Amino acid sequence: MSYRMNPNSKRGWIELITGCMFAGKTEEFIRRLKRYKYAQQNVLVFKPLIDDRYSKQDIFSHSGMSIESLPVKDSTELYEIFKAEQVKKKIDIIGIDEVQFLDIKIVEVISKIADEGVIVIVNGLDKDFKNNPFQNVDKLLVEAEYVDKLTSICHKCGGNANRTQRIIDGKPAKADEPIIVISANEKYEARCRHCYIKPE
């Protein structure tokens, strides 16, 4: 993506990393942020409080890469922390993981932060398991200067996959299946257009 960047660009823009599950989005997100950290830039990384799969403080990729992050409950808290930190030391880079789980005001907040001269690197799923657009990512696809839409490999046929199939007890989950199924054998698979089964 760097080849598309004009070196004379004034600082402050949005980079969106998106796509389905198992596309390596989190690896790409962490890789980009770490480059700036190695260069002693002031990097601040946020994630929504609800995502505590591995750790309350860190973001982990499936391959085991990790980066420190600050869990926030909403876009207001994120902006308040940004402002407070900005007073102490100028922030160069903001990272936001799992942006689809934040409230819709986050899009405005991200834009405001970019206007203030900060590079905002955002990671999020573009579609849910019903293949419907996720909130925030749908708007950021339009708003961001740079978009990288990563694909995965279809678990069924090995083709290019851009959808996520939710599977419960070996069968594609129905559209109205609750998001949290207690004690069910639940998993997700990347699927291509042809192998994906639209939940009814």
**Cα 42 to Cα 94: distance, rounded to the nearest angstrom:** 9
Instruction: Find the part of the chain contacting Zn ion (CB under 5 A) among 91-99, 117-125, 131-139, 187-195.
Output: 187-195
Q: Does 124 carry a binding-site annotation?
A: no
Q: Which of 77, 98, 186, 189 is catalytic?
A: 98
Phi, psi angles (nearest 5°) of residue 78: -60, -45
Binding mask 128-157 for Zn ion (x = CB under 5 A): --------------------------x-xx
CB 151, min distance to Zn ion, A? 12
Q: Give 29 or 196: the residue with its C-beta nearer to Zn ion.
A: 196
Q: Give 37 or 156: the residue with its C-beta nearer to Zn ion.
A: 156
CB 23, min distance to Zn ion, A? 14
Binding mask 91-130 for Zn ion (x = CB under 5 A): ----------------------------------------
Active site residue 80: no
Taking CB under 5 A as the criterion, the residue among 5, 54, 159, 169 binding Zn ion is 159
CB 113, min distance to Zn ion, A? 38
Per-residue 3-state assignment (H helix, E strand, C coil) for the chain = CHHHCCCCCCCCEEEEEEECCCCCHHHHHHHHHHHHHHCCCCEEEEEECCCCCCCCCEEECCCCCEEECEEECCHHHHHHHHHHHHHHCCCCEEEECCHHHCCCCHHHHHHHHHHCCCEEEEEEECECCCCCECCCHHHHHHHCCEEEEECEECCCCCCEECEEEEEECCEECCCCCCCCCCCCCEEEEEECCCCCCCCC
From the annotation, which residues make up the binding site?
19-26, 97-100, 154, 157, 188, 192, 195
- Give contact residues for Zn ion (rule: CB under 5 A): 154, 156-157, 159, 192, 195
